[in-house]
Chain A
Amino acid sequence: MSLKKQDDMDHNAWLKSQDLTAIETAFLTTLIWLDKRLRIVDYLELLETMYYRANLQMPKSHTEQYDLDNKFWYWYPLYSLGSLSIIAYLLAAVSGALLGFYYAPSTAGAAAQGDPTAAYDSMVMIMTDVQFGFMLRSIHRWSAQFMVAAVFLHMLRVYFTGAYKEPREVNWILGVVLIALTLLFGFSGYVLPWKQLSFWAAQIGVELALATPIIGEWAAQLLFGGFTLGQATLVRMYILHVFVLPFVVTALIAIHVGIVWVQGIAEPH
């Protein structure tokens, strides 16, 4: 073997041997020149594969394959409710992050009882002064409501299709935790603007926590920062809403979907 560079494929000789028009020669010369440097052939191959994949025949549908009652497809859209929860969750996360740039979790600034606080004012500022802010808050609220609705309905679909049975019990229990946390997400968010309704909803929360036997006072301290509502309550709800819950819920959703991935969707039969 010599170290001399060998040209196994003498493209130029091949070009000369063909009887080509000027245009064809120019095109091929350019193509060969580019291909030697950029391996265009590989990408053309990829494109070709994609082309053939895209023109595949539709495979048998699930109902055909398993010879199910042909009315069963009615239910299929309900199988997207879990994904819809995730989509709504993501939209809420993005709009929430943007709201976070302007929102101030503080009860300062109220000279007398019933005066707007800094938190309330920052919400008003978002809705009236910030570009697109009114829409932003609306998107955040609605995506949250859509998420809760989707989660409720997703749970019903799992229940009525019997999809929680062995071996999917763990995912059902994870789901129960997830729906509870989703509701807590909603509750803590509801408190943040420190409106009349926010305040009194939180008040009911404190009373409930205090009514719990044994751990009641401790729970009230932990969640609401005391027995009467104030700055501490607001900050705790804020941290819960923008720090603790996002991490916990995101992780649990990842595990939940990971388990679905491993176990597969429960087949209707």
Chain B
Amino acid sequence: MTDDTTPMTDGGTDEEARTDGGPPATVPPDDETPTWSERKERSQGLAQLTYQYFERSRREDEDLRTESTYVERDVLGFPTWPHETIRNLAITSFFLGIMLLVASIMPGHFGDPANPGSTPAIILPDWYLYWSFGLLKLDPINPDLAVLGGNIVMSNELLGLIAHGAIFGVITLVPFLNKGNARRPVEEPGWAALGVAGVILAITLAVLAIQNFFPVPLELLFSLVFMLPVAGGVITYAVLKTMREGYMYDLNRRYYMLRPPK
């Protein structure tokens, strides 16, 4: 037992009890360690910048590691065998079973052969593309210009395509617009409301695609397609805000129970 035993986070100092096998096995960048640029002379251009960055970032890691009082220990985890394996097997067989069951009781029907000469009354893709199909029926909001004598600026197909692009674009940008480390919807009611509105919009657009099956005037249906998502978003926002107040109330109550106001 050496004298310079550092205390461990659990309070003990017993070297035998160290579960991490001692200090980190990585070599600190002292004088004897060749730097990235020494390993291979890279003196110009992007290669040099890359290796300069690697040096910096390794330095940063090392500094963080030396400053830290954190002692690495065995991870308290969920064992792969048998817990995780059995759980996964159970989930997998359950899900496979459901799929086979559904496939056997609802085999689906098979339509007529293709006939390029006769357009069917109802053209529909599978259900998961209904929202996309709905986006092609946006012609009532296709902008027209007085200069063009009330002619539309772009074809309805192009409008639909642009709508698709906008939706995929917004979804792609989400991680760059919403930063921070909040995870729960209550922490960010606005973003949760946006999500709920998006889900409802997907559903209402799907309904728009199969409008023929709904005995609602087209005008009303079209308004609902856009009003319902907004309504859903507002309700979500209100509910989450209220929940947040509730949490704050609980916290405050506990606080004042511990420290009653004088």
Residue ranges of A at the interface with B (Cβ–Cβ < 8 Å): 50, 53-54, 56, 58-60, 65, 80, 83-84, 87-88, 91, 110, 113-117, 120, 123-124, 127, 134-135, 137-139, 141-143, 145-146, 148-149, 152, 156, 159-166, 168-169, 172-173, 176, 180, 183, 186-187, 190, 193-201, 203-204, 207-208, 210-213, 229, 266-269
- List 29 A–B pairs whose Cβ atoms lie within 8 Å, in order of A's numbering: A53-B79, A59-B76, A59-B79, A83-B88, A114-B115, A115-B113, A127-B110, A135-B107, A139-B99, A139-B103, A160-B185, A162-B181, A165-B181, A172-B174, A173-B172, A173-B175, A183-B128, A186-B128, A190-B125, A190-B126, A194-B114, A195-B113, A199-B115, A208-B136, A208-B157, A211-B158, A212-B158, A213-B158, A229-B116
Of the candidates A87, A168, A211, the one having the most CB atoms from chain B within 10 angstroms of its own CB is A211
Give the docked Cα–Cα distance between A135 and B106 (Å). 10
Instruction: Report whether B174 and A164 are in contact in the complex, using a CB–CB cutoff of 8 Å.
Output: yes
Give the Cβ gap from B105 to chain A, nearest Cβ, in Å.
Answer: 9
Instruction: Report whether B108 and A141 are in contact in the complex, using a CB–CB cutoff of 8 Å.
Output: yes
Residue ranges of B at the interface with A (Cβ–Cβ < 8 Å): 76-79, 81-83, 88, 91-92, 95-96, 98-100, 102-104, 106-108, 110-120, 123-129, 132-133, 136, 155, 157-158, 160-161, 168, 171-172, 174-176, 178-185, 187-188, 191-192, 195, 199
Closest to B100 in A: A139
Instruction: Report whether A198 and B182 are in contact in the complex, using a CB–CB cutoff of 8 Å.
Output: no
Closest to A204 in B: B123
Given contacts A91-B99, A135-B107, contact A194 B113 (CB under 8 A): yes
Given contacts A152-B128, A159-B195, A190-B126, contact A142 B181 (CB under 8 A): no
- Tally A-B pairs: CB < 8 A: 182
Cβ–Cβ < 8 Å partners of A268 in chain B: 183-184
8 closest Cβ pairs, A-B complex: A211-B157, A114-B115, A199-B114, A169-B175, A138-B107, A195-B111, A116-B113, A138-B103
Known A162-B188, A172-B174, A194-B113; further 9 A-B contacts with Cβ < 8 A:
A135-B104, A145-B128, A148-B128, A149-B128, A165-B181, A166-B175, A200-B120, A204-B123, A207-B157
Contact of A87 among B81, B95, B161 (CB under 8 A): B95
Closest to A203 in B: B123
Give the Cβ gap from A50 to chain B, nearest Cβ, in Å.
Answer: 8
Instruction: Report whether A53 and B81 are in contact in the complex, using a CB–CB cutoff of 8 Å.
Output: yes
Give the Cβ gap from A48 to chain B, nearest Cβ, in Å.
Answer: 14
Cβ–Cβ < 8 Å partners of A183 in chain B: 128-129, 132
Give the docked Cα–Cα distance between A60 and B187 (Å). 26
Give the Cβ gap from A166 to chain B, nearest Cβ, in Å.
Answer: 7
Closest to B157 in A: A211
Give the Cβ gap from B203 to chain A, nearest Cβ, in Å.
Answer: 11
Instruction: Report whether A196 and B107 are in contact in the complex, using a CB–CB cutoff of 8 Å.
Output: no
Contact of B115 among A56, A113, A137 (CB under 8 A): A113
Of the candidates A60, A80, A165, the one having the most CB atoms from chain B within 10 angstroms of its own CB is A165
Of the candidates B78, B88, B114, B124, the one having the most CB atoms from chain A within 10 angstroms of its own CB is B114
Instruction: Report whether A137 and B107 are in contact in the complex, using a CB–CB cutoff of 8 Å.
Output: yes
Give the docked Cα–Cα distance between A168 and B176 (Å). 11
Cβ–Cβ < 8 Å partners of B117 in chain A: 113-114
Cβ–Cβ < 8 Å partners of A160 in chain B: 185, 192, 195
Cβ–Cβ < 8 Å partners of B129 in chain A: 183, 186-187
Given contacts A87-B95, A139-B103, A200-B123, contact A166 B179 (CB under 8 A): yes
Contact of B103 among A83, A135, A163 (CB under 8 A): A135
Instruction: Report whether B161 and A196 are in contact in the complex, using a CB–CB cutoff of 8 Å.
Output: no
Contact of B99 among A146, A197, A199 (CB under 8 A): A146
Give the Cβ gap from B39 to chain A, nearest Cβ, in Å.
Answer: 24
Closest to A234 in B: B114
Give the docked Cα–Cα distance between A143 and B83 (Å). 27
Instruction: Report whether B114 and A198 are in contact in the complex, using a CB–CB cutoff of 8 Å.
Output: yes
Cβ–Cβ < 8 Å partners of A148 in chain B: 126, 128
Give the docked Cα–Cα distance between A161 and B182 (Å). 9
Give the Cβ gap from B192 to chain A, nearest Cβ, in Å.
Answer: 7
Contact of A80 among B91, B125, B168, B180 (CB under 8 A): B91
Closest to A198 in B: B114
Cβ–Cβ < 8 Å partners of A164 in chain B: 174-175
Instruction: Report whether A195 and B114 are in contact in the complex, using a CB–CB cutoff of 8 Å.
Output: yes
Give the docked Cα–Cα distance between A127 and B157 (Å). 36
Give the Cβ gap from A87 to chain B, nearest Cβ, in Å.
Answer: 6
